[in-house]
Structure 1
Amino acid sequence: MSESESEPESAGQITVVLPDGSELEVDAGATVEDCAYEIGPGLGRDTVAGKLDGDLVAKEEPAYDGATLEIITEGSDESLRVMRHSAAHCLAQAVERLYDEPKLAIGPPTDDGFYYDFDDLAVDESDLEEIEAEMEAIVDADYEIEREEVSVEEAEERLADQPYKLELLSELAEEGEQVTFYSQGEWEDLCAGPHVESTGEIGAVKLLEIAGAYWRGDEENPMQTRIYGTAFEDESDLEAYLQRLEEAEERDHRKIGNEMNLFSIQDVTGPGLPLYHPPGKTVLRELESFVEDLNEDAGYDYVETPHVFKTDLWHRSGHYENYEDDMFIFDVGDDEFGLKPMNCPGHAAIFQDQSWSYRDMPIRYAENGKVYRKEQRGELSGLSRVWAFTIDDGHLFVKPEGIEHEVETIIDMITDVLETFDLEYEMALATRPEKSVGSDEIWEKAESQLRSVLEHRNLEYDVEEGDGAFYGPKIDFAFEDAIGRHWDGPTVQLDFNMPERFDLSYVGEDNEEHRPVMIHRALYGSYERFFMMLIEHYEGNFPLWLAPEQVRVLPISDSNLGYAHRVANEFDDFRVEVDGRDSTLERKIRAAHDDRVPYQIIVGDNEEDDGNISVRDRFEDQEYDVETDAFRAHLEDERDEKRTEPDFLRD
């Protein structure tokens, strides 16, 4: 540290930067709460916690010179997170009261609630009610939550019978440093905080489920018992959340996938390796066709890369050092191979195999490429987290001066996709992560380029510090589904590092070799995750253009079966089926509704005599005496325009 940097603290003063960019000078050693009081006594009294350079900390945490400081007060998302952290402590205290000597692991807040992991604890779902009641008693007791700094040596004594806490302690501080404990009533825990001031400030609490979780997420470690819960400021917010959970359960893509015969994940294939059945593959093929049309219009050429490469490629690209633990790696003879975790190195190798001129640029490659990530088994869940998934990948090799145009074009493609599905979305600029490759200069240049594109188009965006890819910054799109959940989706990523690692070049107008910039982009993110989201967003009621079965013809009686097949032939460019079962019309209608078919065509003696049809949609609206040609023309428009709802009976 230079003399000028150390001067404020040596003079007894430090300067912190507030969210509006203004500076606040306070005494060295001032805590977050002290800074709040300096701003105003009301803010000081309302302080729950703080953020120092983006990190959520206790209000007792000392500020430091040059830090960006944000004061956290009640009513914010961060204050809810603080309260949920305290609820996790109540959970652990309740469990220790009710059960003999469980071993405590970790208990963090989450986006939707909290959890705590225990070892040596035998409980099941039937025990949650009793644990929850004990938690409520702790809340009602309104214990003061006290923060205490102790030496590592004293902490070791206090945690003598808690092996997992001792392991954490060994990583938190070296001998002679201080660590923090939080206590409430008779109970205490090693914890950095922050927490609310007393257990009485914890609002409405609900325990949700019990699951297994490996210690530190490592399958080589012991399996622990994880208890999930949630907490909100009041009962009304909790009830609203529980209703959303109930609706989410009804929309669960695994349940609907089974009902609609879309996919399965079987023991014979292994975890995280989905099998797509004909109806599910039909939806995927429509999604692929949509993207292929967009790629063709934007000038992409399709390529194909193998599933397996020598790990020499992954060493060269940087994936090995950053993704080794997440890769499937194996030996063949004297060579080491790996299933590809990403498609980009293969595309770089294709580009490298030819000589390019500035006249050829940009080069745009596309591939629906299957990739493999060795996720922990406990994290695998339906299509949302799998071992094998397919990315609608695109990689562009462009001249530096062409970056802005190409990124803008990609943004247009992504927004076209999201707006086609009528999805509300937000954008974020994700910056350099801690684990990355490349120089500071390269990263600063890449981040500046993406920021310039966003600001040139006056696009609203957040900044997600440290969330970039290891090879470059990115613009991420997140969208909201029908019940208000947010999902990560499409992305566009700038990469100055891969071209360096693969020594990619093109000959410029000056006849000299120049380095291209590589752009990574995906319009869905991955087919599996996007498909999963669509299943839940639409609750299986896909738009006509995506529906595995678009029209079902229902003959009223066996005598109308021949006419039903003749009608079906009139719609042979759609996915149409005839329900020829010996069953009542009411049961056929109910079956088509349960199978989530957008339209039903009903034919009986009247329709056959008149040469017309009756049409019924999934909303149970029906119209009689419909001309076949008119309905077919409507279906063509609805399909080709990719409308999100059947609207023949709603025009």
Structure 2
Amino acid sequence: MSDSDSDANAGEQLTVVLPDGSELAVDDGATVEDCAYEIGPGLGSDTVAGKLDGDLVAKEAPAYDGAELEIITEGSDESLRVMRHSASHCLAQAVERLYDEETVKLAIGPPTDEGFYYDFDNLDIDESDLRDLEAEIEEIIAADYEIEREDVSIEEAEERLADEPYKLELLEELADDGQQVTFYKQGEWEDLCAGPHVESTGEIGVVKLLEIAGAYWRGDEENEMQTRIYGTAFEDESDLEDFIERKEEAEKRDHRKIGSEMNLFSIQDVTGPGLPLYHPPGKTVLKELEDFVEDLNQDAGYDYVETPHVFKTDLWHRSGHYENYADDMFIFDVGDDEFGLKPMNCPGHAAIFQDQSWSYRDLPIRYAENGKVYRKEQRGELSGLSRVWAFTIDDGHLFIRPDQIEQEVEEIMDMITDVLETFDLEYEMALATRPEKSVGSDDIWEHAEEQLENVLEKRNLEYEVEEGDGAFYGPKIDFAFEDAIGRAWDGPTVQLDFNMPDRFDLSYVGEDNEEHEPVMIHRALYGSYERFFMMLIEHYEGRFPLWLAPEQVRVLPISDANLGYAHRVANEFDDFRAEVDGRDSTLERKIRAAHDDRVPYQIIVGDNEEEAGNISVRDRFEDQEYDVEIAAFRSHLEGEVDEQRTEPDFLQD
């Protein structure tokens, strides 16, 4: 570069946009940290990292003109993520110190929402080795190594990583961009990494290694199975203790464990991964959930339809799923035709609408289906009912006139809030906008997003904007709710779609006798039965409300002499799911068994009850009332079920 070019560039500036909307002019080539110092010296010295257009970057990363800039300082969620990323490097350094560095191969080690992990190949390790690794990590932290960032050329990086095949594979992708790459070094150890990291290992708080698991390289089951070590890190010991307590509570509520204990479902090798089998108790709960939604749909004017599990892929080409979703579909050939298991129900509903002629007077048309769909998740990502290959959506699709958008979206939102409030769930809403991979014009997307925003604003609802998180065919309003231990879950959704009606040439005859294109709305009140069922199992710890419980009442005869009366009492509750425990066992063992089986109510009958013609009632809180009239208890159960109360409350009346 000539001296004149240098002088010219020295005066050039760029502008970044700060979170409050104001603009900051800085010299061209300024880093995130430089920008922070321009705002104020205190902020500059406190800078841990930054965000450029929402992406977390190192404080050494260069800013660019027009970027939205956020400075990350200590104490924020993002700074905790930075520290955890550095903790993952300490884990890898500890592994290479304690195991054969030439044999063990490094893969990736990112931070996660709850901690971090690092994947290794050729690492022979089990849970008993984690304590030694933790001790080595503590030594690395105590040594307070400076974490140095270095920009190197692709060629030099290849030399440094000559013995690391997985890093070289990552490097090949970066080399396609012809850019430099960054290494981070601490003590004798270094890693190819984009960062960001804390300034030294001494800035890492407390680290706890959690478990060892298998993971396929790049999440592809065709690749090698590697050893993944999970860990977490916090600023101080008290935060770690709180996390461990929450983790233990979550493990106690694990739906896979409770599902087995309560005989709700199983996932067996004979069916294949991610394909749950629902046992009678589990199907009982699902049927109650289905009936609840069907009542809401009936009141809202939905007609039920049914579509097949398999369609020719012509349908998926037409809907846009093939080009956007083929990698996640199960696709196979039958003769000369290609078929696919349906990943969504909406194209089938569009085909049903297309099969008839419609007038503007007919709209809105509302279709509902408890439709089974199939998604080809990676085997390593499958987990109980939370991620499966086959799941059922309480799907609804509406075909409406543009002037009906606001009213229909509001009515759907009322249905969703009815569901969430029935289960006493706290929830938040988000407006998800156009993703990078999508179909449709800019004008269509802008109009659709504006319509949903208008509904939220009109109802004065608080919501977040989730940029780029919409469906590929349209924006949506997502509902997220919290369970009993504060975990957030994705749930119901309402999605506006101006694209599929165009792809299927859907139309109705308007008041002007001309053909018009309807608007399509996608909605689900639970999200999917599987994930919602999973959440309910963990939320209630298997102790379902009376109306959902697989077994609602268990009658316990004190002795065999009372068995006949126990059955007569059970017959008085034939409108409920009532069983008699007629085993030759003590009353104490029967009570304990009913409690362990999470039955909401126990009816205890002995000589006194039989002589008086009444019952004793015990609830799951181990409260008991004597001399209860059968008719009075039955009347209470009817009210508790009809009102869908979340807890048994007979003995709290």
| TM-score for the superposition, normalised by structure 1 | 0.98
Give me the whole-angstrom Cα distance separating, in 2, the residues matched to 1:530 and 1:166.
42
Q: Specify which of 213, 216, 229 is matched with residue 215 of structure 2.
A: 213
| Aligned residue type for 1:475 | I
Paired letter, 1:340: K
Distance 1:180 1:313 in 2: 46
Query: How far apart, in 1, do the equivalents of 2:370 and 2:11 lie?
Result: 61
Structure 2 residue 43 is the aligned partner of structure 1 residue 43: yes
Q: Per-residue CA shift, 1:379-400, capped at 9, x if unaligned? A: 1111111111000000111111
Contact 1:151 1:176 (8 Å CA) reproduced: no
Match of 1:61?
61
Residue 126 of structure 1 deviates from its aligned partner by 1.5
Instruction: Say whether residues 1:258 and 2:255 are aligned partners.
Output: no
Displacement after TM superposition at 1:10 (Å): 9.2
Secondary structure, aligned partner of 1:224 = strand
Aligned partners of 1:421 and 1:644 also within 8 Å: yes
Pick one of 465, 469, 472 that aligns with 2:471: 469
Question: Could you list the per-position Cα deviations for residues 91-143 of structure 1 after superposition, in whole angstroms to 9, with x for gaps in the alignment?
Answer: 11111111112111111100111011111211111211111111111111111
Alignment of 1:306-321 (within 5 A): 306-321=308-323
1:507-586 counterparts in 2 under 5 A?
A: 507-586=509-588
Q: Corresponding residue for 2:3?
A: none
1:258 deviates by 0.7
Counterpart in the other structure of 1:195: 197
* In 2: Cα distance, 1:469 partner to 1:608 partner: 62
User: Is 1:244 aligned with 2:246?
Assistant: yes
Structure 2 contact 435–469 (Cα < 8 Å) conserved = yes
Shift of 1:176: 5.0
Report the RMSD for the aligned CA atoms in angstroms.
Answer: 1.2
Corresponding residue for 2:184?
A: 182
CA distance in 2, matches of 1:414, 1:172: 45
Q: 1:173: how far off?
A: 3.6
1:567-606 equivalences under 5 Å are: 567-606=569-608
| 8 A Cα contact 2:11 2:27, kept in partner | no
Q: Deviations over 1:1-47 (max 9, x none)?
A: xxxxxxx9896111111111111111111111111111111111111
Deviations 1:243-277 (A, max 9, x none): 11111111111111111010111111111111100
Identity over the aligned pairs, expressed in percent? 88
Taking the aligned partners of 2:381 and 2:67, their CA distance within structure 1 comes to 36
Letter of the 1:60 counterpart: E
> Partners of 2:456 and 2:429 in 1: how far apart?
9
2:427 is paired with a residue whose SS is strand
Tell whether 2:348 aligns with 1:346.
yes
| Count of aligned positions | 644
Residue identity in the other structure for 2:33: E
Corresponding residue of 1:15: 15
Paired with 1:387 and 1:94, the residues of 2 have a C-alpha distance of 37
On the 8 A contact 2:90/2:137 being kept in 1, the answer is yes
Matched with 2:5 is none
**Does structure 2 conserve the Cα–Cα contact (< 8 Å) formed by 1:86 and 1:195?**
yes
Is the CA contact 1:152–1:175 (under 8 Å) kept in the aligned structure 2?
Answer: no
| Aligned residue number for residue 3 of structure 1 | none
User: Which residue of 1 is the match for residue 110 of structure 2?
Assistant: 108
**3-state SS, counterpart of residue 279 of structure 1:** helix
Give deviations 1:358-384, integer Å, cap 9, x for gaps.
001111100000001111111111111
Give the corresponding residue for 2:408: 406
Cα deviation, residue 175, structure 1 = 7.0
- Kept after mapping to 2: 8 A contact 1:414/1:523: yes
SS at match of 1:405: helix
The answer to whether the 8 Å contact 1:9/1:65 transfers is no
Which residue of 1 is the match for residue 484 of structure 2? 482
The CA distance in 1 between the partners of 2:305 and 2:54, in whole Å, is 42
Cα gap change, 1:182 to 1:33, in 2 (>3 Å)? same
* Residue type of the alignment partner of 2:91: L
Distance, in Å, in 2 between the alignment partners of 1:405 and 1:10 is 57
SS in 2 for 1:177: coil
For each residue in 1:573-619, what CA deviation from the matched residue of structure 2 results, as whole angstroms up to 9, or x when unmatched? 11000111111111111111011000001111111111111100000
2-structure distance, mates of 1:141, 1:38: 33
Which residue is 1:4 aligned to? none
Matched, 1:425 2:427: yes
User: What corresponds to 1:457 in structure 2?
Assistant: 459
Q: Deviations over 1:422-455 (max 9, x none)?
A: 1111111111111111111111111111111111
Q: Return the letter of the residue paired with 1:320.
A: Y
How far apart are the structure 2 equivalents of 1:649 and 1:176? 72
Question: Are positions 1:87 and 2:87 aligned together?
Answer: yes
| Alpha carbons 2:483, 2:539 under 8 Å: kept | yes
Residue from 222, 227, 231 that aligns with 2:224: 222
Give CA deviations for 1:477-536 in whole Å, capped at 9, x if unaligned.
111111111111111111111111101111111111111111111110100010011001
How far, CA to CA, are the matches of 2:579 and 2:122 in structure 1?
56
Match of 1:608 in 2: 610
State the Cα distance separating 1:464 from its structure 2 match: 1.2
Alignment gaps of 5+ in structure 1: 1-7
- Aligned-partner residue type, residue 568 of structure 1: A
The 2-side partners of 1:441 and 1:263 are apart by 46
Q: Which residue of 1 is the match for residue 143 of structure 2?
A: 141
> Which SS does the other structure have where 1:189 is aligned?
strand
Alignment partners' CA distance in 2, 1:39 and 1:29? 16
The residue matched to 1:322 in structure 2 has which SS? helix
Q: What is the alpha-carbon distance in structure 2 between the residues aligned to residue 487 and residue 135 of structure 1? A: 33
- Following TM superposition, the consecutive aligned residue runs of length 4 or more in structure 1 with deviations greater than 3 angstroms are 8-11, 173-176
Is residue 642 of structure 1 aligned with residue 621 of structure 2? no
The answer to whether structure 1 residue 268 and structure 2 residue 270 are counterparts is: yes
- What amino acid is aligned across from residue 317 of structure 1 in structure 2? S
Q: Is the 8 A contact 1:152 1:174 kept in 2?
A: no
In structure 2, the partner of 1:375 is 377
CA deviation after TM superposition for structure 1 residue 177, in Å: 2.3
Q: Partner residue of 2:387?
A: 385
| Cα distance in structure 1, aligned partners of 2:323 and 2:543 | 43
Quote the Cα distance in structure 1 between the aligned partners of 2:469 and 2:607: 64
Q: Does 1:290 align with 2:295?
A: no
